[in-house]
Every structure is written in C-alpha cells, then in structure tokens.
Structure 1
C-alpha cells in the first residue's frame, strides 16, 4: 500500500484527511503535517522528514501539498533527491485526496501521482458553465 502524506499551510492538511475519511474508510498509512503561521521552515522540514520516516511503506509515499512554490512544496521536493520512493503533487483538494486513497492499492507510485493530478484537475468545475452546457444539450 502506498502511504499518503498531506502537507499544507495552516491546518488544512488535517481537515482534508478528516473530510476524505467521510468518503474512504481506509485511511491507514496517511499523515497530515501542518505548517502554522509563525513556524519556521526548519521545523516544517523536521516534521515532514519525521512523518516520512514514520510511515515507511514498501510501495512508497505520495506527498500532496497545497501551493506550488510554497514552503510545504519546497520541503517535500527537497526529499525527492534522497528518496526514489516519493512523489510530490501540488494543489491538493478533496477529489485528488479521495481518489488517491481509493486507488493506492491498485497503482504504482508514479501511476498514483498521475491519477492524483488528473483527479485534482477534473474536480475543478465552473458549475454555472456546466449547467449552461447541459441546458443547450437538452
């Protein structure tokens, strides 16, 4: 099973995992690392390294972060050099996380990272435009 680590600014990572648990019952091998205001990047790096070391699944770890270029993304990316069993995807949202949890037993780590990107982007819709298209089709 692939481990999933969610790292975000504030407590979003914790809330995302709690919410995903409403859709996917098995959230074993998951962790949330928060980055509260005022915390230093060294503290975040230590927390991310500790979470990765504490999970140690055989199939690798998918790290989902919030903002590309943000401190959580930079910390996660810095681990890629030392560990080939890690993948990092930015822009974490509920569709991305829920589908990653659902598919992690049936995909390789690189396939799961690609699926996370797909699920995350497909989960973003302009509802008004979608309804207007549906009206035109009917």
Structure 2
C-alpha cells in the first residue's frame, strides 16, 4: 500500500499546492491538508494534525511540510515519536506533490528519499541561453 500523503503549511499554501497538482495530474493524487491559521498556534496545529492522523489510521504516512523549523513542521516532527510509520519532509513544493502522485514507489522510506531528491532538484537557477544572432537567422 502506498503511503498516505499529508501536506502541511502556514496559511493556504498546502491546499493551493494540492489544487495545482490536481490541475496537472488530475485526481491521481489524494492527500490530506493541514493548514495552520494565524490563530492556531502550536496547540491548534497539533489538534488539526492529530485529527488527520487519527482519520488515516495506522498506515504509513508521509508529511510534506512547508518550512523546516516552522510550527507545521515542528508539530509533524513531534508525532514521529508516537508513530513509527510516519516520515516528515520539509520544503513542500509542487514537484514533490506531483511525483508523490505518479510514483509507483510504495515503501515509505524509499518514497521519502525519492521525494527529497525531487524537491531538491526542483530548485534551480534559470539562466537565459545566449543566442548567436547569425545562427538564429541561418535557416
């Protein structure tokens, strides 16, 4: 069984990232979203995540959190002590969510490592290629 996916963020980033992924890959992706609001604080975010994890049951879960050291990520990390089949990745981005949807990987640690690599490779400085004007018009 493929691990369940939970997206966590400050504000609506997780929900909007999921919607963007669905725009690209359709309904291939099923994920839960935990969005921390300004008034949630640590306790409200803990409550939201606990409800989500209880809903999912005792299955492998991978949480993609927006920011290492931020409340959503810290709350997710706290759950790792109580749930041995839970993994957390920080740096939530669209490439990670799309790959989570289309990847055939079912083993939790293998999927976690794969998505970590995908997330890192999705961040790249884009530079314009210099075009030689003579070559451009040779056709």
Q: Give the TM interval when normalised to the shorter protein.
A: 0.7 to 0.9
How far apart, CA to CA, are the structure 2 residues paired with 1:84 and 1:118?
22
What is the aligned partner in structure 2 of residue 81 from structure 1?
A: 81
Q: Which runs of 5+ in 2 are unaligned?
A: 132-139
| Equivalent runs, 1:1-138 vs 2, <5 Å | 1-24=2-25, 25-28=27-30, 30-56=31-57, 58=59, 60-103=60-103, 105-128=104-127, 131-132=128-129
Report if the CA contact (8 A) 2:61-2:108 is conserved: yes
Q: When the two structures are aligned, how many residues end up with a matched partner?
A: 131
> 1:66, CA displacement in angstroms?
0.6
> SS in structure 1 opposite 2:8?
strand
TM-score by length of structure 2 reads 0.86
The alignment's C-alpha RMSD in Å is: 1.9
Q: Which of structures 1 and 2 has the bigger CA Rg?
A: 2
Moved over 6 A (4+): none
Q: Is the 8 A contact 1:100 1:115 kept in 2?
A: no
Task: Give TM-score scaled by structure 1 length.
Answer: 0.87
Unaligned runs of 5+ in 1: none
Distance 2:114 2:57 in 1: 22
Q: Secondary structure at the match of 1:64?
A: strand
Query: What's the CA shift for 1:27?
Result: 2.2
Contact kept, 8 Å, 2:41 with 2:71, in 1: the verdict is no
